[in-house]
C-alpha cells in the first residue's frame, strides 16, 4: 500500500510542476554578447528563458551551446512574465542581474557570484561598468 501512495504522490507532484511550467510560458531573447549567470559562462546567441517557479529560471541556448538553471530572489508574491533581461556590465564582461516585467517592475533578482564581486571591485576604479537591458520576445 505504501508504494502506491508514494507513486501517487510523485505523479501528482510532477503534474503540478508541469502545469506550473506550462502556465509560466517561455520567452526568447537574442543576446549579442557572451555573459555569465552566476559563474557559468554562456556564449552570445538566441536563448529561451523559462521560469518554472518564481525562484527558478532556466536559460537555454537554442543552438544547444549551453544552458543554466539559476535561483532568483523574487520581488513580488506573484509571478508575472518577464519582458526584459538586465545585465551588469564590467568592461567586456556581462552578468545577468535581474528580469523586468513589461511595466518595468523588477521581477526576479540574481545574487552576484564571487566572480562578479571580484570583477566589480577590479573595474570600479576604471569606471567601465554599467547596465544593459535585452528585450524578450
Is the pLDDT at 10 greater than 70, yes or no? no
Could you report the per-residue pLDDT of 48-95, keeping only the tens digit for each?
Answer: 999 877 788 999 999 888 899 999 888 766 667 788 999 999 988 999
Helix or strand run (H / E) with residue 2: helix 2-24
Tell me what the mean pLDDT of segment 120-133 comes to. 75
- pLDDT, mean over the chain: 78
- Residue ranges per domain, the chain? 26-135
Q: What is the pLDDT of residue 136?
A: 79
Is the pLDDT at 127 greater than 70, yes or no? no
Q: What percent of the chain has pLDDT over 90?
A: 37
The order of strands in the sheet holding 56-61 is 26-31, 45-53, 56-61, 67-71
* φ and ψ of 123, to 5 deg: -85, -15
Amino acid at each position: 500500500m505504501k508504494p502506491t501512495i508514494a507513486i501517487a504522490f510523485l505523479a501528482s507532484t510532477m503534474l503540478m510542476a508541469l502545469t506550473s511550467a506550462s502556465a509560466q510560458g517561455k520567452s526568447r531573447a537574442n543576446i549579442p554578447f557572451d555573459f555569465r549567470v552566476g559563474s557559468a559562462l554562456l556564449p552570445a546567441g538566441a536563448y529561451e528563458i523559462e521560469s518554472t517557479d518564481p525562484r527558478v529560471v532556466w536559460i537555454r541556448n537554442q543552438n544547444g551551446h549551453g544552458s543554466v538553471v539559476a535561483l532568483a530572489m523574487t520581488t513580488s508574491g506573484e509571478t508575472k512574465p518577464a519582458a526584459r533581461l538586465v545585465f551588469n556590465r564590467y568592461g567586456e564582461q556581462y552578468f545577468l542581474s535581474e528580469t523586468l516585467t513589461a511595466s518595468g517592475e523588477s521581477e526576479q533578482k540574481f545574487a552576484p557570484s564571487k566572480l562578479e564581486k571580484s570583477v566589480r571591485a577590479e573595474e570600479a576604479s576604471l569606471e567601465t561598468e554599467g547596465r544593459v537591458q535585452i528585450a524578450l520576445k
